[in-house]
Amino acid sequence: MSDGGVVAAHDVLLVGGGAAGLRAAIGISESNPELDIAVISKVYPMRSHTVSAEGGAAGVAGEDDTIEEHIYDTISGSDWLGDQDAIEAFVNEAPRELLQLEHWGCPWSRQPDGRIAVRAFGGMKKKRTWFAADKTGFHLLHTLFQTSLKYTTLRRYDEWFVTRLLVDEGRVHGVVAVELATGEIHTIMAKAVVLATGGCGKVFPFTTNANINTGDGMALALRAGAPLKDMEFVQYHPTGLPFTGILITEAARAEGGWLLNKDGYRFLQDYDLGKPTPTPVLRSMELGPRDRVSQAIVGEMQKGRTIDTPYGPVVHLDLRHLGAKLIDTKLPFVRELCLKYERIDPVKEMIPVRPVVHYMMGGVHTDINGATPVQGLYAAGETACVSINGANRLGSNSLPETLVFGARAGRAAAAYVQSLGEPSATTQDAIRAQADDEVRRLRAELMGREGSEKVPQLREQMQHTMEGAAGIYRNGPDIAAGSQKLAELRERMEKIGVADSSRAFNTELTAALELANMMDVAEAMLISAGRREESRGAHQRTDFTKRDDEKFLMHQLVHRNDAGELGIEQLPVTITRWPPGERVYGR
């Protein structure tokens, strides 16, 4: 077999088969059927982590709602770090994208008259979150996947793991990937590449994220010369199940669930989030934004008002007063997950929950069309940072983000490739040399290599290092200590051994490559967190407790130089009509 050989050449290659990648693929298939496009993913598309999203997708729908209000909620939710032009585009286009999904068959929950139903969500002043019970991501992903099957010319590389972007003179030309079933290494040429590989929650020990969320696209982009943006902003979801970290959707609170401390007290009222009322009030109490609610739970831990369990301190999410009928209609998955993984029935018992790493606000730096500074390289979805989420994403904004910016990146990539000819002979030589180099690295340095270090141990140490240095509350000395520890772990990575020398479905090799990706992402997070000497949104510094607009109303871009060293530069936030103000919830 000819390792590293070119197996195909496409106009556009979408890396990742979740919502963003599939939305881009369908969009290009519809608008530019003459283009040759392909989706490559390390898992079958329907295994992508979009599948785990529960609560819903925001898009202005109700007669009492306005575009302006969704924009304002998103900007204030972002603690003014989101780019206002991007947020405007997002909010304007989200409803049409959700309607498009409806036309493709998404089983959105309905009102009695057959119109789309919407529910409340945290940090949103109006009900505007479309939902398919509490399996919104599952239905959205399968609708996109099944719709994509219509396009018989859409090529898919299922279970192919991309290990390198091929870039010459600032322009992308394709990828090198391992076909997992056979272990063969291939080069796929592409005039444009769209990264849609999702998030990086597995950098931390306790996360709602799936095993596959290892920041692959972020690491690929960084190494290819595209900067990462705002990597210090890691979202903790307030309500994860202890031990597993399984997500209990925010919709549980939107439907009327309460957060209680060990005394049965609705403690959020002590954290400037409003006053308790029997039924939910928008942008108040349990419908506060995720950063503030997670921080409040830590506050309760520090006051000794949480409940101790073998898996750490928890608070209670109480749904009992909602009744079996509402829970079975609106929150069936919550009940199923609690029964299976906690052996409790939320109809009769309170759910133990604790904050859990859930989402990466930062990502590959793109413009409003998903374009990165590397020509032909695009990114969309959680992999990317446009940025609409700024310092804190609002719940139910991420699913429409995958659709709006998946479609935008697809359109931009399709337009870009129209004008391109074949790469020059010099470029082709350079690309071939890079591909050969990658094959050598994979074969010689990793597969079946003897080594004193093991992937699982280094991974566990990295995860605990990150929890210690970049958790809900951070400070300079902890970040510095974490950086030092991470540098040591990266050195030890050089001595990693891969005992599995088989070619077929070598998951030990995949795990080693994923760990390398996570180490790069982790390093970018810590350098960004160390540099941002203020508190904003999900980035809370105990040594710099105030928001500092004078110095830090700025994005931070992490670049990597040829020697592999990271550097940071600032980029102004785009402010159009909404000057920075105070974030007010519940008053």
CB of 150 to another protein, least distance (A): 5
Per CB under 8 A, does 567 bind another protein? no
Per CB under 8 A, does 460 bind another protein? yes
Rounded to 5°, angle at Cα 210 from 87 and 530: 60
Residue among 3, 85, 93, 102 that touches another protein (CB under 8 A):
102
Question: In angstroms, rounded to a whole number, what is the distance separating the alpha carbons of residues 21 and 402?
Answer: 8
| Contact flags string 321-360 toward another protein, x per CB under 8 A | ------------x--xx--xx-------------x-----
Tell me which amino acid residue 509 is: L
Per CB under 8 A, does 471 bind another protein? yes
Phi/psi-derived region of residue 4, left when phi > 0, alpha when psi is between -120 and 50, beta in every other case:
left
Site for another protein in 358-397 (CB under 8 A): none
Per CB under 8 A, does 200 bind another protein? no
CB closer to another protein, 428 vs 475: 475
Per CB under 8 A, does 472 bind another protein? yes
Residue among 25, 210, 412, 435 that touches another protein (CB under 8 A):
210
What are the tokens at 454?
Answer: 């093991």
Q: At what angle do helices 455-469 and 507-531 cross, to 10 degrees?
A: 20
Place of tokens 């780019």: 83
Per CB under 8 A, does 62 bind another protein? no
Residue among 34, 64, 114, 550 that touches another protein (CB under 8 A):
114
CA atoms within 13 A on the CB side of 247: 26
Residue among 80, 121, 161, 206 that touches another protein (CB under 8 A):
206
How many residues bind another protein (CB under 8 A)? The answer is 77
Residue among 65, 300, 401, 500 that touches another protein (CB under 8 A):
500
CB under 8 A: which stretch of 148-156, 265-273, 417-425, 563-571 binds another protein?
A: 148-156
Give yes or no: 253 in active site: yes
Per CB under 8 A, does 554 bind another protein? no
Handedness of CA 224, 229, 230, 234 (dihedral sign): negative
Site for another protein in 69-98 (CB under 8 A): 96
CB of 166 to another protein, least distance (A): 27
Per CB under 8 A, does 495 bind another protein? no
Tell me which amino acid residue 531 is: R
* CB contact at 8 A, 341 and 373: no
- List 142, 253, 354, 408, catalytic entry: 253
Site for another protein in 414-453 (CB under 8 A): none
260 forms bridges with which residues in the sheet? 316
Give yes or no: 474 in active site: no
> Considering only CA atoms, which of 53, 34, 42 is closest in space to residue 17?
42
Rg of the chain on CA atoms, in Å: 23
Question: In angstroms, rounded to a whole number, what is the distance separating the alpha carbons of residues 462 and 325?
Answer: 44
CB closer to another protein, 443 vs 559: 443
Query: Is the preceding peptide bond at 29 cis, omega within 30 degrees of 0?
Result: no
CB closer to another protein, 20 vs 435: 20
- List 139, 237, 290, 539, catalytic entry: 237
What are the tokens at 459?
Answer: 């991974």
CB closer to another protein, 484 vs 576: 484
**What phi and psi values does residue 379 have, to the nearest 5 degrees?**
-150, 150
Per CB under 8 A, does 33 bind another protein? no
Rounded to 5°, angle at Cα 128 from 66 and 346: 155
Q: In what order do the strands lie in the sheet with 118-119?
A: 57-58, 129-130, 118-119
Per CB under 8 A, does 467 bind another protein? yes
CB closer to another protein, 106 vs 527: 106
Q: Any idea what DSSP says for residue 184?
A: E
Per CB under 8 A, does 135 bind another protein? yes
What are the tokens at 239?
Answer: 């309500």
**What phi and psi values does residue 267 have, to the nearest 5 degrees?**
-70, -20
What are the tokens at 585?
Answer: 């919830």
Per CB under 8 A, does 107 bind another protein? yes
Per CB under 8 A, does 10 bind another protein? no
567 forms bridges with which residues in the sheet? 559
| Contact flags string 302-321 toward another protein, x per CB under 8 A | ---------xxx--------
Active-site residue set: 237, 253
